[in-house]
Amino acid sequence: MAQVAVPETLEAAPARPTTRKGSGTGDTIFAFLCRAAAALVLVLLGAIIVELFLGGLPAFKAFGAAFVTSTEWDPVQEIYGAGVPIYGTILTAILALLLAVPVAFGIAFFLTEMAPDWMRGPVGTAIELLAAVPSIIFGMWGFFVIVPVMAGTIQPAIIDTIGELPLIGSLFQGPPFGTGLFTAALILAIMVLPFIAATMRDVFLQVPGVYKESAYGLGSTRWEVMRKVVLPYTRISVVGGIMLGLGRALGETMAVTFVIGNANRITPSLFGPGNTIASIVALEFGESGAGSLKLSSLLALGFLLFVISFAVLALSRWLLRSRLKG
């Protein structure tokens, strides 16, 4: 057998290119399809940027660079500026992170170091399910459940206590509408909470067991292991996870639309109404005719939002790259 087989393979060797070519057409087509699909993703991103920019071009032309900083939004006189929604977007997103990050850290710490094994799966799944709840449901829940509580108890209490303080007091004054920037930030915090918690949990789990066991072996408490071993080891990825949450918070639309109060002016109080880029686009789009300067301004706002969230998400990916490779 072997004697027959050896010359056969030797003879087959020169003939190989032709047989390869036969099956090669299938390979060529399939590889082309895969590559074309991959290229389509790049084209999509490029097209989104270009289309939003072109759509916003009339507004950029009409208002110049001042569009980004102007706080005017006057449909009657056709003067539009991005200042108020940009302020609202950044303020609510940052505030949401301030509220969400400590809680997300607590959940990740609980799930990785504290919870008994049987509890980790179900609790982790429940937190992840919170991330799956559609945005509009958060909006309805926020509007019908959280807003009355904010207006009835939480905001009056804060206004009467913190609002009386010098300096920071002015941030917490004004009538307790229930809606407004602060409530929007609170809903956003609840929405990004599961994303940040899940990322933190995943990166905490990647700390080699030996490191933690060494620290435990020296008599460290769980908190000390977290603070002096796990956090230093994972801090870059943790920041990446927070950035991922920030990216989500910046572009969240429906939930914010329900509770933000829809006002196009900057109020000094966090309890005042406002707008984010996403919410103003959703709320004002219906009243903007095709080809109008207002529609162009909304598209220009969309372009700005894309630039901001692209930068934040790119930073997040870059910080998380070590985790993704691992």
Partner 1 sequence: MSATTSPMPNSSVPGRAKDRATSEALGRRRARADAIVRVLCTAATILGLLFLASILLTLIIRGAGGISLSVFTNVTRPPGSHGGLLNPIIGSIIQVFLATIVGTPIGMLVGTYLAEYAGESRFGQVVRFVSDVLLSAPSILIGLFVYQILVLPFGGFSGWAGIVALAIIVIPVVVRTTEDMLRLLPNTLREAVIGLGAPKWKMIVLVCWRAAVSGIITGVLLAVARVAGETAPLLFTSLGNLNWSLNLSQPMSSLPITIYSYAGSPYEDWITLAWTGALIITLGVLGLNIAARSVLRARR
Q: Which of residues 132-191 bind partner 1 (CB under 8 A)?
A: 132-141, 143-145, 190
In the complex with partner 1, the residue whose CB is nearer, 19 or 161, is 19
Query: Is 254 among the residues that bind partner 1 (CB under 8 A)?
Result: yes
Answer for the pair 215, 228: CB distance below 8 angstroms, yes or no.
Answer: yes
Residue 317's alpha-carbon distances to 233, 269, 313, in angstroms, are 18, 34, 6
Strand-pair partners of 79: 74
Closest-CA residue to 206 (of 107, 126, 112, 115): 112
Q: How far is the CB of 122 from partner 1 (least distance, A)?
A: 10
Report residue 154 as tokens.
Answer: 């939480």
Residues in contact with partner 1, total (CB under 8 A)?
Answer: 95
Residues of this chain, 58-117, that bind partner 1 according to CB under 8 A? 102-107, 109-111, 114-115
CB of 88 to partner 1, least distance (A): 14
The CA R_g of the chain, rounded to the nearest whole Å, is: 27
Under the criterion CB under 8 A, does residue 204 sit at the interface with partner 1?
Answer: no
Fill in the per-residue mask, 19 to 38: x = in contact with partner 1 (CB under 8 A), - = not in contact. ----xx-xx-xxx-xxxxxx
Which span (1-9, 233-241, 265-273, 306-314) binds partner 1, by CB under 8 A? 306-314
Interface residue with partner 1 among 6, 8, 40, 64 (CB under 8 A) is 40
In the set 88, 194, 272, 273, which binds partner 1 (CB under 8 A)? 194
Q: Is the dihedral of CA 36, 38, 39, 45 positive or negative?
A: positive
Helix 231-251 with 83-109: angle, nearest 10 deg: 140
State the minimum distance, in angstroms, from the CB of residue 304 to partner 1: 10
- Chosen residue from 75, 79, 156, 224 binding partner 1 by CB under 8 A: 224
Which one, 159 or 320, has the nearer CB to partner 1? 320
**The one segment of 72-80, 173-181, 232-240, 247-255 that binds partner 1 by CB under 8 A:** 247-255
- Min dist CB 169 to partner 1, Å, is 27
Least spacing, CB of residue 180 vs partner 1, in Å = 17
Task: Choose between 159 and 229: whose C-beta lies nearer to partner 1.
Answer: 229
Least separation in angstroms between residue 17's CB and partner 1 is 14
Window contacting partner 1 (CB under 8 A); options: 1-9, 49-57, 60-68, 170-178: 49-57
Using alpha carbons only, give the angle 52, 252, 51 rounded to the nearest 5 degrees: 10
Minimal distance in Å, beta carbon 95 to partner 1? Answer: 17
Nearer CB in complex with partner 1: 41/168? 41
Assess 128 for contact with partner 1 (CB under 8 A): yes
Q: Residues 57, 130, 171, 263: which binds partner 1 (CB under 8 A)? A: 130
193 forms part of the interface with partner 1 (CB under 8 A): yes
